[in-house]
Amino acid sequence: MSGAAIEMSAVLALLGVAVLALVLSRREQATAIVYGATLVISVIALGNAAMRLIGDPAGVSDLVLPFGLPWLGAHFHLDALAGFFLVVINLGGAIASLYALGYGRHESAPHRVLPFFPAFLAGMNMVVMAADAFSFLFSWEFMSLVSWALVMSHHREADNARAGYVYLVMASLGTLALLLAFGLLAGPQGAYGFAAIKAGTHDPAISALVLALMLLGAGSKAGLVPLHVWLPLAHPAAPSHVSALMSGVMTKVAVYAFIRVVFDLIGQTSWWMSAVILLLGGITAVLGILQAMLEKDLKRLLAYSTIENIGIIFVGLGLALAFRGSGMGVAAALAFTGALFHVVNHSLFKSLLFMGAGAVLTATGERDMEKLGGLIHRMPQTSLAFLAGCLAISALPPLNGFVSEWLAFQAVLQSPQLPDWGLKILVPAIGGLMALTAALVAATFVKTLGIAFLGRPRSEAAERAKEVDMFSLTALFLLAGLCLIGGILPGLVIDALQPLSQALVGSRLPLQSAEPWLSIAPIAETRSSYDGMLVFVFIAVSAAAAAYLIHRLASRAVRRGPAWGCGFPEYSPVAQYSGASFAQPIRRIFATLVLGASETVTMPPPGDTAPARLTVVVVDPIWTKLYLPVTGAIGWTAERLNRLQFLTIRQYLSLVFGALITLLLVLALWP
Amino acid sequence: MNGLSFDVAHLLAGGLVLISFMMLYQDRLYSLLNIFAMQAVVLALAVAWQAFVQDAPHLYVTALIALVLKAIIIPVALHRTIERLGIHREVETVVGIGLTMLAGIGLVALSLLLMLRVTIGVDALAREDLSFALCVVLLGLLMMVTRRNAVSQIVGFMSLENGLVLAATGAKGMPLVVEISVAFSVLVAFIVIGVFLFRIRERFDTVDVGALHRSRGDSE
């Protein structure tokens, strides 16, 4: 069987499991059966895709199935790009299934989740495998709808219905944009196969239009600003393992769609297109992380941070496009590799963090960080894994997040050699935005870890928390381990990505496994190099030495006394430093301008013993300035058109008649 | 022979348009039905002539269907319906008859102008046929729009259907299946609307469509 056939069999098997889940879903053992099955199938699909990526990266295996459009059939393929994203999807799917073996037992409505989970995995696999516009759009819409069903699985909870509605509207908008983009690419002769689209030449104006539509279509699924509004609503609403898949993996499917069309199918692009992508990516990164910083809901914070990471990935893609258009092959390969590496990394640590949040949710029933605290004593293993995730997402060496951001910054540093002045000025500015983002990410995750896991419990639920089950912990530590391996052995990942780089930007980085001591040197060793293993060994040795020395020298001299209570005579958990207070300086500096954050202090009149109140309001200006006017306009028009619902039969007939006559008149008078 | 076959086809198709005009100014239901039956007869003749000219025997079946169904069964059935409902009164036209006729003339001009332009290079017989067919269709629609009584709306709809049959047979090589299905769709529409008429009658004691709107709380 060819690689594509094995992948499609896996998809079929997943769909079969979905049907089985529909039958079984009310039974007790359904959870174990369904997630066990998806785990096995995902591992098989993962192995197949990885073999293809490592063993035969240049090969393409095709599969044509006899359904879909009658004259077209359904084309599926497995090339290097698809193989890479299949690895990301199925790795995420396998670990999410493993996690759900434990987490799923706490699900209150399993019959709303079990049938859709395998179908969701199947949908994402199908999108990546699709090799013609029709199968692609079908799979895409299937993925959207199934994920919508998962978002709505707890539909009775407040806000979830609204989240589902906003998601549905945005997903339809995105699919519409993709539909138009493929229509433009196919041209008047209707070449809907990807191979035919690639073989044809496209007018520059058409290319620009397709790029704009792809930014709209793939960008709305990925969460590019200003199309991100649904993401922080919908991702947290789903059960946590699904949130992990949506944030960690489904956004990557959108990135895949963007790469497939913009890098693979369009062909040559002009420089200002990359400028647009760069700008959008930079703004997305900063806005996403600023909103994450101000968020107190743990899962929503993670969703905002997904927006930020998507911004970084798009900056990398924009840089790759800019370098490719300017004929700077190695720099393009560097930026492209950085972006794809970040795709892998983000899928790993975002899944880890969402699953950690799910573990916290299971243990305490709380998503509000201001009601957590002190979990490191009650859930030490979860806390350790969550810490690893926080370090990785904050891009601290020796974990994987550092490597991909380092590659992206190395690419930014290549910008002085760009021939175009506009880009020459823009790229360093974007680099500045990314540096700001990196710092804000670190602050955000210091806040997340510090408020939720350190300190003292802020609620009874947090006080009674217990460590979660073994399946969940295994999944968490598996992800944490992968984050560490990715950081220590980045050369392996970079080398595995080079066939993609060769295929899509036309050049590759030097072979990293040839570098001594596991170090990586993407351009040349004289310019820059990084050795994750060395940093890891150094940190491990110096930390161990420091701990030993402190224990040896200082622990003896321990003096026990009352803790300093910040001047409060009665030290209660409520008086602890809160997430909002941690975020306050950053909120005042950045968010007042960007997010319209405002605070009002209400003082009781003299003599009144009521407490003073500090109210903080943060509004998303994109929602109020962009979305509300649009919804308002649609509502106004709909109200005016409502009259059409109450005409008489004769008036309706007259409308039809009038329309017919008008069309005939136009036809008759057309020159 | 060619000249003669063209002239006869032209005459019959033109006759259909003329009868459509006659229906437009009929303000009595019985006479409207009679004229509709007449149109069906002319249609059957036109189709039969096409069968003869094109040497396509299956078109005779179509002609027969048109004759039996539209010239006999449907008018008789509608006649009995009117009798049972007891609505022999005048047809109320919404727009004045003079204005309707003027609009009809405009429609004929439009469809001739359009069809003759669009079908340049097609065989003259098909050209004439198509433009007359469009005239009949548009006039049928006009009748549906300008009448208020449900029975006359049905008649308008079926005269529209006559135009479609004329167009279908004018084009060479139209398979019989299509025509049979068209005929049956008319029959089904007739039955449905017939049943509907009685329902209206039961509920509102009138077949005036305006009554429906009043019951829905609208004002015409």
Residue in A653, A664, A665 nearest the CB of B145: A653
Q: What angle do CA A248, A250, A254 make, to 5 degrees?
A: 120
pLDDT per position as a tens digit, B118-149: 777 777 777 888 888 899 999 998 988 888 77
Amino acid symbol at A436: L
Domain-embedded: residue B174:
yes
Tell me the range of A321-325, A509-513, A523-527, A646-650 where mean pLDDT is highest: A321-325
Residue corresponding to tokens 């290079």:
B121
Domain-embedded: residue B147:
yes
pLDDT per position as a tens digit, B163-206: 888 887 777 666 665 666 667 667 667 766 776 666 666 555 56
CB spacing of A648 vs B148 below 8 angstroms: no
CB spacing of A648 vs B210 below 8 angstroms: yes
pLDDT per position as a tens digit, A357-399: 999 999 998 889 888 888 999 999 999 999 999 999 999 988 9
Mean pLDDT of A29-46: 92
Q: Kindly report the average pLDDT of chain A as a whole number.
A: 88
CB spacing of A650 vs B145 below 8 angstroms: yes
Task: State the DSSP string of A107-134.
Answer: -S-HHHHTTHHHHHHHHHHHHHHB-BHH
Domain-embedded: residue B152:
yes
Q: Is the pLDDT score of B92 beyond 70? A: no
Minimum distance, in Å, between the CA of residue A656 and any CA atom of chain B: 9
pLDDT per position as a tens digit, A544-557: 999 999 888 877 76
CB spacing of B210 vs A654 below 8 angstroms: no
The interface pTM score, or ipTM, of the predicted complex is: 0.82
User: Which range is least confidently modeled, A38-42, A54-58, A84-88?
Assistant: A54-58
pLDDT per position as a tens digit, B174-184: 666 566 666 76
3-state secondary structure A346-393: HHHHHHHHHHHHHHHHHHHCCCEHHHCCCHHHHCHHHHHHHHHHHHHH
Residue A485: predicted pLDDT: 92
Best mutation target among A664, A666, A667, A670 (most B Cβ atoms within 10 Å) is A664
Q: Which residue of A has its CA nearest to B146?
A: A650
Best mutation target among B100, B107, B110 (most A Cβ atoms within 10 Å) is B110
Q: Which residue of B has its CA nearest to A662?
A: B110
Residue A544: predicted pLDDT: 95
Query: What gap in Å lies between CA B28 and CA B152, rounded to an integer?
Result: 10
Mean pLDDT of A526-533: 82
Query: What gap in Å lies between CA A284 and CA A215, rounded to an integer?
Result: 13
Residue A581: predicted pLDDT: 86
The answer for residues whose C-beta is within 8 angstroms of residue A475's C-beta and 6 or more apart is A95, A96, A98, A99, A102, A355
Residue in B110, B145, B148 nearest the CB of A664: B110
Residue in B141, B148, B210 nearest the CB of A657: B141
Q: Kindly report the average pLDDT of chain B as a whole number.
A: 79
Residue A604: predicted pLDDT: 87
Domain-embedded: residue B113:
yes
Interface of A with B in 647-666 (CB under 8 A): 648-650, 653-654, 656-657, 660-661, 664-665
Neighboring chain B residues of A661 at a CB cutoff of 8 Å = 107, 110, 138
Neighboring chain A residues of B104 at a CB cutoff of 8 Å = none
Domain-embedded: residue B220:
no
* A418: three-class secondary structure by DSSP: coil
Residue in B114, B148, B216 nearest the CB of A650: B148
Segments forming the whole domain that contains residue B158: 2-215
Tell me the range of A172-186, A268-282, B194-208 where mean pLDDT is highest: A172-186
Neighboring chain B residues of A653 at a CB cutoff of 8 Å = 141, 144-145
Mean pLDDT of A125-152: 93
Neighboring chain A residues of B117 at a CB cutoff of 8 Å = 668
Residue B47: predicted pLDDT: 86
Our count of domains for chain B comes to 1
Distances (CA, A) of B180 to B59, B126, B168, B193: 10, 21, 11, 20
Judge contact between A319 and A303, C-beta under 8 A. no
Query: What gap in Å lies between CA B38 and CA A441, rounded to an integer?
Result: 85
Q: Provide the pLDDT confidence category of residue B211 given band limits of 50, 70 and 90.
A: low
Mean pLDDT of A82-86: 92
Q: Is the pLDDT score of B220 beyond 50? A: no
Half-sphere exposure of residue A133: CA atoms within 13 angstroms, side-chain side: 22
pLDDT per position as a tens digit, A446-458: 999 999 998 888 8
A646 interfacial to chain B (CB closer than 8 Å):
yes
Residue A634: predicted pLDDT: 93
Q: Is the pLDDT score of A597 beyond 90? A: no
B interface toward A at CB cutoff 8 Å?
94, 107, 110-111, 113-114, 117-118, 138, 141-142, 144-145, 148, 209-210, 212-213, 216, 218, 220
Q: Which residue of B has its CA nearest to A649?
A: B209
* B208: three-class secondary structure by DSSP: strand
Judge contact between A520 and A549, C-beta under 8 A. no
